[in-house]
Amino acid sequence: MAGRARQSRHQRIAAPWGAWLVLAWLCLGSAPAEALEKYGRPLPSMDGPESNGQEQESLLSGYLLSAAFPYNPTFAARPDNTGLVGLRHMIHLETNLYKDYLQFYTDQNFFSDREDGWIRLTEWDSTYALTGSIDRWGWRIQYERDAGLDRRTLIQEYGDVLLTGRFVAMQDSAWWRSTFPQQNLTAYAGAGWLFHNSSYFARPDNTGKALFRYVAHADLDLYKNKLVLYADANLFSDREASNNANPTELDWIIGLALRWRDYEFAVYREEDRPLDRSGLIQKYVAIQLRYSFDVPRSLLKRLNPRS
């Protein structure tokens, strides 16, 4: 959907170019880098750096979240840019198919319209993907479909591939480990290609057709993975433009997340703006509660001890 968390498109500070340059320096100016949480969604990982490798023991993991948009002057509640988002509900599920090399995940996002009572759902964004990583490099192939729920609207859908490189300060920088022994910085950057795009737009005002995606993300652990500052940037290019590699849209997010066990409370701001011309800027501030869960493989053995 236009302006949604276009990872999803989830899905991005008053000086967005400054945020992008900082993210690019953090990610690209670093050593070899795999995608944070294996794919470029803008939410920070619930796992700390010491959890590497534990995913292989998981049968099914994911999270549930709900968010409210107390400030939302322009962020649309349907793919055709009608309404204003009031609430967001999401379920994320992932499972390992073969160690870290191959996983499957799905995201199901639902939005309501604050101009239509806040409660009734008005949009459903569904994502399905295969993803994996080798050392510091990650890949993803994904299909997304965004559609209206309460009325017939335009449907935005695409298929894309994404390659990313990852930097983990506690693992990759001796200076960081000695200077900030209680904090960690995780960052990734990469580029993708929308190889199939029947109706996914290149700007927030639903003009153009997206072709390339450029991403960057950073999580700064402020206190023992309990307090995390995160930022995310997505840029899209227009396949119908004369230079179809030049970015035409920037989506950026900056947020602060507070964790307690498997729960996370976050406050974040997103802004999606055109870059090559004036036009609609979609923006909001949201508060969000997320619950993370994991079903270990050992549960199968406990349920069926003879296997």
pLDDT in tens, 242-287: 999 999 999 999 999 999 999 999 999 999 999 999 999 999 999 9
On the question of pLDDT at 25 being above 80, the answer is: no
296 confidence band (pLDDT: 50, 70, 90): confident
Q: Which one-letter amino acid corresponds to residue 13? A: I
Residue 260 token pair: 């307690």
Taking the C-alpha atoms of residue 67 and residue 48, their distance in angstroms, rounded to an integer, is 23
Q: How far is CA 288 from CA 5, 58, 161, 230, in A?
A: 14, 25, 28, 14
What is the reported pLDDT for 48?
54
What is the reported pLDDT for 45?
60
On the question of pLDDT at 299 being above 80, the answer is: no
The conformation of residue 276, written as its DSSP 8-state character, comes to S
What is the reported pLDDT for 301?
66
Lowest mean pLDDT among 14-28, 153-167, 182-196, 229-243: 14-28
- Distance, first Cα to last Cα, the chain: 45
Taken in order of first residue, the domains within the chain and their CATH numbers are: 16-45+59-303 (2.40.160.40)
Radius of gyration of the CA atoms of the chain, in A: 19
pLDDT in tens, 185-199: 999 999 999 999 989
pLDDT in tens, 63-79: 999 999 999 999 999 99
pLDDT in tens, 222-247: 998 899 999 999 999 999 999 999 99
